[in-house]
Chains A and B, each alone.
Chain A
Amino acid sequence: AQSVTQPDIHITVSEGASLELRCNYSYGATPYLFWYVQSPGQGLQLLLKYFSGDTLVQGIKGFEAEFKRSQSSFNLRKPSVHWSDAAEYFCAVGGSGNTGKLIFGQGTTLQVKP
């Protein structure tokens, strides 16, 4: 069965520091992978997606993620964090078939220190 693990429940970084949020997935075939961000009281916003091709994908708000098949990982990175990046981040994998069903990790809460 497909699954997503986000090992870090809570991360705190200083403003201006670099960020890496970890995501590991379990899926038999080439996965479709996503990162979403959720701010308090808001719905989920798609940051970036990987379907195929270049394993380094660029997203909105200066985020990028790298797909590493050998490590079953899809880690999210940002070189310099802004206070407005404080939110909850979810990694997701597309389920089998073409249902569009997304399987989410439990999320990582990012806190940004001034």
Chain B
Amino acid sequence: DTGVSQDPRHKITKRGQNVTFRCDPISEHNRLYWYRQTLGQGPEFLTYFQNEAQLEKSRLLSDRFSAERPKGSFSTLEIQRTEQGDSAMYLCASSHSDRSSYEQYFGPGTRLTVT
């Protein structure tokens, strides 16, 4: 069990550019979650997948954000036309889809800085 991994760990981009982050969950976990954490705040739910199906999206996830999990394994989160307000830590977590779906294992996060 290698845990949840995220890539890159840090990303600096200029406003207006597109960025894509990757998350590799724990291999036997069928649920994958994305959260966003801004400075001094707790993580906020963005979206989640069960296998390859995206089952819920938060209102926080504007049209500039898109997430995929094409084969039910890794997931990508893309932000188009980045804005300074997108600067945050993007966290990925995975779990099983039973009661323990709430028992999530988090990756180290991708810190995005938009200049």
Contact of A100 among B41, B104, B107, B108 (CB under 8 A): B104
**CB-CB nearest in chain A for B45:** A101
B79 contacts A by Cβ under 8 Å = no
A100 touches B33 (CB 8 A): yes
A70 contacts B by Cβ under 8 Å = no
B99 to chain A, nearest CB (A): 7
A99 contacts B by Cβ under 8 Å = yes
B44 touches A104 (CB 8 A): yes
For chain B residues 71-101, which have a beta carbon within 8 Å of chain A? 91, 93, 95, 97-99, 101
Question: Interface 1/0s, chain A 41-81, versus B by CB < 8 A?
Answer: 11111100101000000000000000000000000000000
B42 touches A104 (CB 8 A): yes
Contact of A44 among B43, B45, B56, B101 (CB under 8 A): B43
Number of interface residues of B (CB under 8 A): 28
A102 touching B45 in the complex, CB below 8 Å, given contacts A44-B106, A46-B105: yes
A41 touches B108 (CB 8 A): yes
Chain A residue contacts of B43, Cβ below 8 A? 44, 90, 102, 104
For chain B residues 27-66, which have a beta carbon within 8 Å of chain A? 31, 33, 35, 40-45, 48, 55-56
**A9 vs B66: C-alpha distance when bound (angstroms):** 33
Contact of B102 among A44, A49, A105, A107 (CB under 8 A): A49
**A43 vs B4: C-alpha distance when bound (angstroms):** 10
**CB-CB nearest in chain A for B43:** A104
A101 touching B42 in the complex, CB below 8 Å, given contacts A34-B102, A43-B4, A51-B99: no
For chain A residues 22-48, which have a beta carbon within 8 Å of chain B? 32, 34, 36, 41-46
A16 to chain B, nearest CB (A): 28
Chain B residue contacts of A94, Cβ below 8 A? 102
Q: Which residues of B contact A (CB under 8 A)?
A: 4, 31, 33, 35, 40-45, 48, 55-56, 91, 93, 95, 97-99, 101-109
